[in-house]
Amino acid sequence: MNYSQFLAVFPRSEPSKVYLFAGPELYWHRQGRREILNRFVPEAARELNYARYGDSAEDLQRGLSLALTRPLGWEHRVVVLQGPALAHPDAVQRIELFCRASTTRNILILEMEKTGSRSPKESDKRTARTIEEVVKENGMVIECPLLKPAEKKQWVQEFAKQQGYVMDFTAVSTAAERAGATLSEMANQMEKMFDWAGDRKRISAGDVETVLPPDPDLKLFEISNALAEGNARKALLAVDKLLLEGEFPLVLLAVATGLVRKWVAAREMLREGIPAQTVGKRLEIPDFKLDSLISLVRRLPAEQLREAHDACIQADFLCKFSPVPDRLHLERLILQIAAMVRMATPRSR
């Protein structure tokens, strides 16, 4: 289940032995932990009945031992295990033993960044799936992925509404683009915006633009997104805007070249039989973009992809050594890449 589904069933459900918050969106981990604590262990009882472990693999046994100990002066005890504590080689077996042995009304919370791109080994992901299976048999698994763009807009609107603010469509869209990549970052930026608005309960796009200036990297992403769509006009407009703002053509050329190189690398890894999720991890592709990138790479003809790669090398050489203005080489390359993608994109009927 996702976090919204968890919130829908949690207030009416009996406490589970174990809850697993799995995924890279740590904001949901913290919110879920707070919901469980607020319901089962009030502030006055937490000094004796709440503990969090995660500094080392050895913390696993300390946490599980405490979770098997009867609470003091209260009905429940909550123990949280996270990070390194769950990297112990025997984590799966020990958590399973805890679930079998627990006779108290204590609650164990596990927090894992299951699909994080920084996992040191592929075995970590296999372990995460096994822990999921154990928890599903004995408690609740709550998936916590990073939000997709449309979901971020919905979250911004709901978060503002909870705080008593109204935002129009443009303000919501701008805030979703600029507030950050994770909900923790977005919540901090939204709080900053609420402080700016003060007693004014209506936040405009102008307020958002004032408080949350655009990240320069986001502007560069406009070119990548347009090229991935095969939209030459949109890409050229983004280039024109950035050049007017003083960006160097070679920087924008590097964006287009890096995108094509990523497509070439993804295609080669898929040809070797490497799973798509592993491809995404190695190339640092966000989860919400992975499916569309893999689909595109599989559609692109190998010969045309090689030609686009060669064109990138040639454009880079010409920008450095040709007397022709760099912008012309950049625009020619963008037109070539966009045409290749457009030709490989199925047309809707």
Residues 87-145: tens digit of each pLDDT: 888 889 999 999 999 888 899 999 998 533 333 344 444 444 588 889 999 999 999 99
240 neighbors 249 (Cβ within 8 angstroms): no
Q: What single string gives the DSSP state of each residue in 277-341?
A: HHHHHHTT--HHHHHHHHHHHHHS-HHHHHHHHHHHHHHHHHHHH-SS-HHHHHHHHHHHHHHHH
Same domain, 137 and 183: no
Give the mean pLDDT of 40-68. 91
Give 218 or 325, the one with higher predicted confidence: 325
> Whose CA is closest to 75, among 28, 107, 33, 118?
107
Whether residues 185 and 286 share a domain: the answer is no
pTM of the complete model beyond 0.85: no
Q: Could you tell me if 222 and 325 lie in one domain?
A: yes
240-262 mean pLDDT: 88
**What value does the CA radius of gyration of the chain take, rounded to a whole number of Å?**
25
Q: Which pLDDT score, from 0 to 100, does residue 140 have? A: 94
Task: Quote the CA–CA distance of 313 and 329 in Å, as a whole number.
Answer: 11
How far apart are the C-alpha atoms of 309 and 302, rounded to whole Å? Answer: 11
Tens digits of residue pLDDT in 296-315: 899 898 888 999 999 999 99
User: Is residue 29 a part of any domain in this protein?
Assistant: yes
Which DSSP state fits 2? B
Question: Which residues make Cβ contacts (< 8 Å) with residue 49, sequence separation at least 6?
Answer: 41, 71, 72, 73, 74, 76, 77, 78
Boundaries of domain holding 160? 149-211
The domain that holds 255 is classified in CATH as: 1.20.272.10
CB count within 10 Å of CB 243 equals: 16
Task: With respect to residue 349, please indicate whether it lies within any of the assigned structural domains.
Answer: no
In terms of domains, do 225 and 103 share one?
no
Q: pLDDT by residue (tens digit) across 72-100?
A: 999 999 999 998 888 888 889 999 999 99
- Based on the fold, state whether residues 11 and 138 are members of the same structural domain: yes
For the chain, the domain total comes to 3
Average pLDDT rounded to a whole number, residues 232-261: 88
- Give the domain CATH number at 178: 1.10.8.60
126 occurs within a structural domain: yes
Q: How confident is the model at residue 346 (pLDDT cuts 50, 70, 90)?
A: low
| CATH number for 70 | 3.40.50.300
The DSSP output letter for 42 is -
Give domain status of residue 73, yes or no.
yes
Is 166 strand, coil or helix? strand
List beta partners, residue 203.
167
